[in-house]
A = this chain, B = another copy of it.
Amino acid sequence: MDIKPYMEKIGKKARIASKVIASTDSKTKKLALTFIAEALNSNRQKILKANSIDLANGESGGLDYSLMDRLELNESRISAMIDGVHQIISLPDPIGEITDLTDRPSGVRLGKMRVPLGVIGIIYESRPNVTIDAASLCLKSGNSTILRGGSEAIKSNQAISNCIKEGLSTAKLPESIVQLVETTDRQAVGKLITMSDYVDIIVPRGGKGLIKRIMQEAQIPMIKHLDGICHVYIDDKADLEMAFNIALNSKTHRYGVCNAMETLIIAEGIAKNILPRLAEAYKRKNVEIRGCAATQKFIDCSLALQSDWSTEYLAPILSIRIVKDISEAIKHIACYGSQHTDSIVTQDESRALRFIREVDSSSVMHNASTRFADGFEYGLGAEIGISTDKIHVRGPVGLEGLTSQKWIVFGHGEIR
């Protein structure tokens, strides 16, 4: 297959479809999503059968355990996908919302109207549920979508994509509003991220290797995050019980997530009162500790290397650093952090406010677990990803991040 014309055809169709879905009313979009949910439900067997082919191929191809786990579908995972669609149906439609109306001295009335971005390209790995999550969010926000899943999930993604097509067509909308790239050729990704005439934004979801490659080659803006090196700083004016709970929860609630704490920073004045008890608790959860030299004076642990401060473990490993004060903590975060999520634990309001002002991360917290940095916790309903960039959108990204605003002017014949 010749990839370039194949992808360009997809791009052209997506651009045309984007004009249709941009001006489709809320009721029709809800209807389409409802039909998609119904199609998923009535095609459970087909989806599971397709998934079993992917799983068999994965096994014979030696796919590792964690990828196999993410790839696998079952009845309850399909039900979760359907629930996800219903959740998106219940969210308010952001498109067409008019805000910031003001009357200008010239006599014109000025405002802003929320509009879709256009065509969104999603690049992801393994998990077939991203196919339906991403497609539903983009459809609800009035965008057309080009989906490029991992080659290991191609059959599952095709089966899900067929349900999406069925739903769209039942709602009398063009099937090309959501298109799946049906080749596993890696050149398709290279083309997708450079077709700036047809694609308005790329959302890469997956491992660091994938995202780095896309960053280097893309000629289209992206919503992305690379690392989640999150910190909790325990100030010497912290409540000990609260600090203990937040430090433990931020690390051990889940290990493989981007908002888990990777480095714990402790003010030297409070270290001896909290470190031994914390180390004990981490030990019970089998968390390996790598501490700075000062940490080793209080607890038994291996010495952290320079590289530990900039490593996202995504595992039961924690680095600990003892600092003089909040200034040193902020410096450490600026130097080694990834601008994802950082939290201070303190009873001192002015220090908390200083931390919140000066730490340059997409989420900055006071007396709360880093695990709260999440679209659902923030009330976005669902999230397409997390952005650690400052351009366009930052932090957990829901429907609004997939939209833009245009200026609207209501006049009465005003001229300049």
Q: Which residue of B lies closest to A216 (CB)?
A: B219
C-alpha spacing A106/B135, complex, angstroms = 29
Contacting B at CB under 8 A, from A210-249, are: 221, 239, 241-242, 245-246, 248-249
With an 8 A cutoff between CB atoms, is A55 at the interface? no
List of B residues within 8 angstroms of A391 by Cβ: 117, 200-201, 221, 391-392, 404
A316 interfacial contact with B, CB 8 Å: no
User: Given contacts A372-B106, A395-B407, A409-B372, is CB(A249)–CB(B415) below 8 Å?
Assistant: yes
- Whether B246 and A118, one on each chain, are in contact in the complex, defined by CB atoms closer than 8 angstroms, is no
Residues of B within 8 A of A416 (CB): 249, 253, 369, 371-372, 377
Q: Considering residues A22, A357, A371, A415, which has the most beta carbons from chain B within 10 angstroms of its beta carbon?
A: A415
A415 contacts B117, C-beta separation under 8 Å: no
Taking A367-B412, A410-B366 as contacts, is the C-beta distance between A394 and B390 under 8 angstroms? no
Determine if A373 is an interface residue (Cβ-Cβ < 8 Å): yes
Interface residues of A toward B: which range?
35 or more
Number of copies: 2
Asked if A406 and B118 sit within 8 Å, CB to CB, the answer is: no
In the complex, what residues of B have CB within 8 A of residue A96's CB? 357
Inter-chain contacts of A358 with B (CB < 8 A): 23
Question: Contact at A390–B334, with CB atoms within 8 Å?
Answer: no
Bound complex: CA of A406 vs CA of B356, how far in Å?
9
* A360 pairs with B115, CB closer than 8 A: yes
The answer to whether A357 and B200 have CB atoms under 8 Å apart is: no
28 pairs of residues in contact across A and B, judged by CB atoms under 8 Å: A23-B358, A96-B357, A102-B379, A104-B377, A104-B379, A106-B372, A113-B364, A115-B390, A221-B392, A241-B413, A245-B415, A246-B413, A249-B415, A249-B416, A362-B407, A363-B406, A363-B407, A363-B408, A365-B408, A365-B410, A368-B411, A368-B414, A368-B415, A369-B411, A369-B414, A377-B416, A391-B392, A395-B406
Q: Which residues of A contact B (CB under 8 A)?
A: 19, 22-23, 96, 102, 104, 106, 108, 110, 113, 115, 117-118, 200-201, 221, 239, 241-242, 245-246, 248-250, 253, 334, 343, 352, 356-358, 360-369, 371-373, 377-379, 390-392, 394-396, 404-416
- Nearest 9 A-B pairs (CB), nearest first? A368-B411, A249-B415, A390-B404, A242-B413, A365-B409, A367-B411, A392-B392, A371-B416, A363-B407
